[in-house]
Homo-oligomer: A and B are copies of this chain.
Amino acid sequence: MLSGPLEGVIVLDFTRVLAGPFCAMILADLGAEVIKIERPKTGDDSRAFTPIVKGESAYFMSINRGKKSVTLDLKNPKGREIALRMGEKADILIENFKPGVMEKLGLSYEEFAARNPRIIYASCSGFGQYGPLSEKPAYDLIVQGLGGIMSITGPDKNTPTKVGSSIADIFAGVFTAIGILAALHHRESSGKGQYVDVAMLDCMVAILENAIARYVATGVTPEPIGNRHPSIAPFATFKTQDGHINIACGNNELWRRLCVALNRPHLYEDARFKTNADRVANWADLEPLLQEAFIECPTEKWLKEFDDAGIPAGKISNIADVVKDPHVLARDMIVNVVHPVAGNFTLPGIPIKLSMTPGKIKSPAPVLGQHNEEVLTEYLGMTPDDVNALEEEGVI
């Protein structure tokens, strides 16, 4: 009941910042042994990202839990050789450098595969390993812009809006995890690893949902329409006396109950709002009438009324609400870990609940080079003296 489904799988993790580390974190949560290779002295760039808690980056700690940290100067021939030898022991390698960097370091898929044909080598990048933009620097903001999601997110058509978390990075991380696990399944029968190429931009195109289908079917370019549903009403966000509320009334019966709960029974009789199609067509009339009702009471009062009436509704939780939400806590989606330097720290939990092999957050994020001796002695048979010598040479 305790170990994760990927127990025994060894991941060599050359990733930095977000997309790659997020992917490797998922694998670690599911039981894989993830060995994060970091630049000596400074490590992953995100170790410097603010806010800093007792010298440790909150950002870094939040997405590198459960991993081991080994420092390695990949530009040093000895460092490169150690990386390749580690690759002989690994099932999976993940990197998210700009395309071409691993090749220049002499650490391409071909070089690892020559020594270990079973290795699955995943590259996660902004624009992928080929295509006209592949060598451009990729920032989440720029990829969200090019990927179309910003053109359909926002309060109105003049305000294209970035999603508040870096979903281009995060989707690339999760799709890379899927690619790796699919390749792992294939390796069971073929005995061979392969190369996995995932691009943030490709992932943005893949998650546009019905936007492409709608555009192709109608020729109309979708625009941001705020929080309302394009073809169901009322299905939107309203201001309340003290905040906001989301309402989802997908049929006439729910519409009737809403009119009663809002103390606006006449709206249900109003010919402009008889059917869902009417309410969508006359939304410009309907929205202000509903808004002036919602503003009369605080969110919690409405939620209570709507819950009693069976009307789907919910508040807009802020982060402070989320971390103490009883349902979120009941699902172990907020987890406390004790970091050796930063002390008590709170992390999001594991969103994949497996009955037999649930996985777990094995450990807090490592401090830089924490597992140098452990990993190099265990995997490469070095002695502590060998490790010390490498450290003195600046290789690790």
- B58 to A210, Cβ gap below 8 A? yes
B326 touches A145 (CB 8 A): no
A59 beta carbon closer than 8 Å to chain B: yes
Q: Which of B145, B161, B229 contacts A315 (CB under 8 A)? A: B145
Contact A327 B131 (CB under 8 A): yes
B237, A164: Cβ atoms closer than 8 Å = no
Are B345 and A194 neighbours in the complex by a CB distance under 8 Å?
no
Chain B CB within 8 A of A288 CB? no
C-alpha spacing A195/B356, complex, angstroms: 7
* Interface hit among A77-85, A133-141, A255-263: A133-141
Give the shortest distance, in Å, between A326 (CB) and chain B (any CB): 6
Chain B minimum-CB-distance residue to A181: B181
Question: Is A231's CB within 8 Å of the partner chain B?
Answer: yes
Could you say which of A265-273, A316-324, A369-377, A386-394 contacts chain B?
A: A316-324
Instruction: Say whether A41 faces chain B, with CB atoms less than 8 Å apart.
Output: no
Q: Give the residues from 174 to 208 in chain A that come closer than 8 angstroms, CB to CB, to chain B.
A: 174-179, 181-186, 188-190, 192, 194-199, 201-203, 205-208
Please name the residue on chain B nearest to A184 by beta carbon. Answer: B185
**Cross-interface CB contact of A50 among B63, B222, B231, cutoff 8 Å:** B231
The answer on a CB contact under 8 Å between B315 and A146 is yes
B227 A162 Cβ-Cβ under 8 A: yes
Asked whether A216 is an interface residue with its Cβ less than 8 Å from the other chain, the reply is yes
Pair B196/A353 contact, Cβ less than 8 Å: yes
Contacts A147-B317, A164-B153 hold; do A216 and B333 have CB atoms under 8 A apart?
no
Query: Which chain B residue has the least Cβ–Cβ distance from A223?
Result: B318
Q: CB-defined interface of A1-25 with B at 8 Å, one 1/0 digit per residue?
A: 0001111110000000010000000
Which of A7, A52, A128, A182 is most buried by chain B, counting CB atoms within 10 A of its CB? A182
Q: Of the listed stretches A68-76, A100-108, A165-173, A290-298, name the one at the interface; the rest are far from the partner chain.
A: A165-173
Find out whether the CB atom of A317 lies under 8 angstroms from the CB atom of B182.
no
Residues of A within 8 A of B (CB): 4-9, 18, 26, 30, 49-53, 58-59, 61-63, 109, 127-134, 136-137, 139, 141-143, 145-155, 159-167, 169-171, 174-179, 181-186, 188-190, 192, 194-199, 201-203, 205-218, 221-224, 226-227, 229, 231, 235-237, 244, 246, 248, 250, 312-323, 325-328, 330-331, 333-334, 345-357, 359
Can you give 27 contacting A-B residue pairs, CB < 8 Å? A4-B182, A7-B186, A9-B185, A49-B231, A59-B214, A63-B209, A127-B327, A131-B327, A131-B331, A141-B246, A141-B248, A142-B314, A146-B322, A149-B164, A150-B227, A155-B161, A165-B207, A165-B208, A179-B352, A179-B353, A194-B357, A199-B331, A201-B328, A203-B351, A205-B351, A212-B323, A216-B346
Closest 6 CB pairs of A and B: A152-B164, A5-B186, A181-B181, A153-B164, A195-B355, A58-B213
